[in-house]
């Protein structure tokens, strides 16, 4: 008898959990509005397109900025080096052994002794100032962009002759400014001069032959610096056997901080080791401020686009007031009503974010082809290679940037969906059906 009663008793129905299939299905169904509710669908489409374009623009702009930053920083670091050693090691009899120890530090790619001396340059009745950098001919290759811009003949002539010879290398900007070419004469004036048995000779001027014209990709460096063989620079500027600094290039410039202690130990007691972040502190700080500022400004564009979701869900709630009342009378909880409309708004945000990510990544990955296509159609050069030293707009997609853009867009979409969804959950079914 007990078994029969038990068999005839219906099993208890387990209530559906949060974000169940019926809530998700109903939320997505509400987005597919009927003709008389077409305003809701139109606003949803506008919100979707707004978020998509905002996300795509944010990713594109940040990637282009990252590309320019990496390209410019790479050229500046190629010219200036990543780490520097100064102090007693420069005049120590053990400096050659110290250089060898530094070069053996894991992560150090090249070690170059340098002299840098201010000077005046004169040619053809024009005069300007700059810096003469003394470098060993075999170390010129460590300055990659300079070395790559020279012909094999220019590389071979540099450092040839007694005390390094009289061939020097000047930048393209300086050559254009003073009307010089390969083979021209350039007089260099040193305000200090060289030392002799009679004391310092004071100002010293000598005429050198331009053996090559380089392009570092940074006009300021091309205008201000001249390369001279180290031995000749030591002789001309009265620095016989003296180095001003030991410059290093490392494999990972961003991880240069981890090499400070090993290089310090290799250089010996009393040595002063600095890195490019100190030498280029103002530039590095400006890049970080620019990155943060642009991220905030463009992030606001995404937030504004996400705010369109509010108006769409408000209209949807207004059109579905009767449905809300019926759902409440058949047992739907206020939290279920909240989740239904929240899912509707979040779905717009998620769809727009995904579409924006795809659009932005496709644009960044094909930016060169897009640029050349537009130039071919319009006949206008959008990106002058002679000015920017690049043949295409650089774009570097940072996975962290893409991640935070996606997370921020999704968060703002959810945040915009909450207020109207909360209001929908608080609708009284009796009041809602009174005038139906």
> Higher pLDDT residue, 72 or 349?
349
Using alpha carbons, select from 152, 145, 151 the residue that is nearest to residue 216. 145
Could you tell me what percent of the chain has a pLDDT over 70?
A: 87
Instruction: Give the mean pLDDT of 310-335.
Output: 80
Across the strands, what pairs with 189? Answer: 120, 205
Contact present, 40 and 313 (Cβ < 8 Å): no
End-to-end CA distance of the chain: 50
Contact present, 312 and 39 (Cβ < 8 Å): no
Q: What is the per-residue pLDDT across 109-135, written as a single tens digit (0 to 9) for each?
A: 999 999 999 999 999 888 999 999 999
pLDDT, residue 193, reads 58
pLDDT, residue 251, reads 87
How would you class 170 by CB atoms within 10 Å of its CB: exposed for 0-12, middle for 13-18, buried for 19 or more?
buried
Query: How far, in Å, CA of 416 to CA of 75, rounded?
Result: 44
Query: How far, in Å, CA of 43 to CA of 307, rounded?
Result: 11
Query: How far, in Å, CA of 371 to CA of 64, rounded?
Result: 13
DSSP 280: T
Residue 385 has pLDDT above 50, yes or no: yes
Residue 229 has pLDDT above 90, yes or no: yes
Using alpha carbons, select from 306, 349, 313 the residue that is nearest to residue 425. 313
Indicate the pLDDT class of residue 169, thresholds 50, 70 and 90.
very high
Query: How far, in Å, CA of 46 to CA of 332, rounded?
Result: 30
Element (H, E) at 186: strand 185-190
Instruction: Give the mean pLDDT of 205-232.
Output: 90
- Put residue 218 in one of left, alpha, beta given phi > 0 → left and psi -120 to 50 → alpha: beta
> Higher pLDDT residue, 388 or 308?
308
Using alpha carbons, select from 166, 303, 180, 174 the residue that is nearest to residue 236. 166
Query: How far, in Å, CA of 351 to CA of 354, rounded?
Result: 5
Contact present, 356 and 52 (Cβ < 8 Å): yes
Predicted structure pTM score: 0.69
Residue 310 has pLDDT above 50, yes or no: yes
| CA 381 vs CA 217, 322, 377, 378: distances in Å | 19, 59, 10, 8
Who contacts 338 (Cβ-Cβ below 8 Å, separation ≥6)?
421, 422, 424, 425
Instruction: Give the mean pLDDT of 78-103.
Output: 88
pLDDT, residue 2, reads 46
pLDDT, residue 195, reads 53
Residue 242 has pLDDT above 50, yes or no: yes
Give the lowest-confidence range in 102-106, 228-232, 283-287, 292-296. Answer: 283-287
> Higher pLDDT residue, 98 or 320?
98
The beta strands (E) that lie in 146-290 are given as 167-171, 185-190, 195-196, 199-200, 204-214, 225-229, 245-250, 272-275
Return the structure tokens found at 206. Answer: 């000598």
Residue 18 has pLDDT above 90, yes or no: no
Using alpha carbons, select from 336, 388, 347, 394 the residue that is nearest to residue 367. 394
Contact present, 360 and 60 (Cβ < 8 Å): yes
Using alpha carbons, select from 210, 201, 218 the residue that is nearest to residue 179. 210
């Amino acid at each position: 008898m007990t078994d029969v009663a038990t068999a005839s008793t219906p099993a208890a129905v387990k209530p559906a959990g949060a974000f169940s299939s019926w809530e998700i299905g109903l939320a997505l169904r509400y987005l597919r509005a009927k003709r008389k509710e077409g305003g809701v669908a139109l606003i949803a489409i506008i919100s979707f397109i707004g978020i998509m374009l905002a996300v795509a623009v944010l990713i594109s702009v940040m990637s282009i900025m990252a590309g320019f930053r990496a390209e410019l920083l790479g050229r500046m670091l190629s010219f200036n080096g990543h780490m520097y050693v100064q102090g007693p090691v420069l005049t120590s009899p053990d400096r050659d052994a110290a250089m060898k120890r530094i070069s053996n530090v894991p992560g150090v790619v090249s070690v170059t002794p340098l002299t840098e001396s201010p000077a005046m340059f004169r040619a053809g009745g024009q005069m300007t100032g700059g810096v003469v950098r003394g470098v060993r001919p075999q170390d010129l290759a460590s300055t990659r962009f300079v070395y790559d811009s020279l012909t094999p003949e220019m590389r071979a002539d540099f450092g040839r002759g007694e005390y390094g010879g009289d061939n020097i290398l000047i930048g393209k900007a300086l050559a254009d400014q003073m009307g010089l070419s390969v083979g021209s004469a350039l007089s260099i004036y040193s305000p200090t001069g060289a030392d002799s048995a009679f004391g310092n000779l004071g100002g010293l001027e000598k005429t050198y032959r331009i053996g090559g014209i380089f392009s570092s990709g940074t006009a300021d460096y091309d205008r201000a610096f001249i390369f001279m063989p180290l031995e000749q620079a030591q002789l001309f500027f009265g620095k016989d056997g003296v180095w001003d600094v030991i410059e290093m290039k490392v494999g990972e410039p961003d991880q240069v901080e981890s090499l400070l202690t090993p290089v310090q130990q290799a250089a010996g007691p009393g040595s002063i080791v600095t890195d490019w972040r100190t030498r280029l502190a103002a530039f590095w700080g400006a890049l970080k401020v620019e990155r943060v500022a642009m991220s905030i400004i463009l992030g606001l564009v995404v937030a504004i686009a996400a705010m369109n979701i509010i108006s769409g869900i408000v209209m949807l709630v207004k059109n579905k007031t009767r449905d809300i009342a019926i759902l409440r009378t058949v047992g739907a909880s206020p939290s279920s009503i909240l989740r239904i409309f929240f899912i509707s708004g979040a779905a717009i945000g998620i769809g727009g974010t995904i579409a924006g990510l795809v659009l932005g990544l496709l644009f960044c990955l094909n930016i060169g082809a897009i640029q050349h296509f537009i130039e071919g159609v319009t006949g206008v050069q959008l990106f002058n290679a002679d000015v920017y030293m690049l043949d295409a707009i650089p774009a570097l997609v940072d996975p962290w940037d893409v991640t935070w853009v996606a997370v921020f867009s999704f968060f703002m979409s959810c945040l915009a969906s909450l207020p109207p969804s909360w209001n929908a959950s608080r609708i009284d079914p009796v009041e809602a059906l009174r005038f139906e």
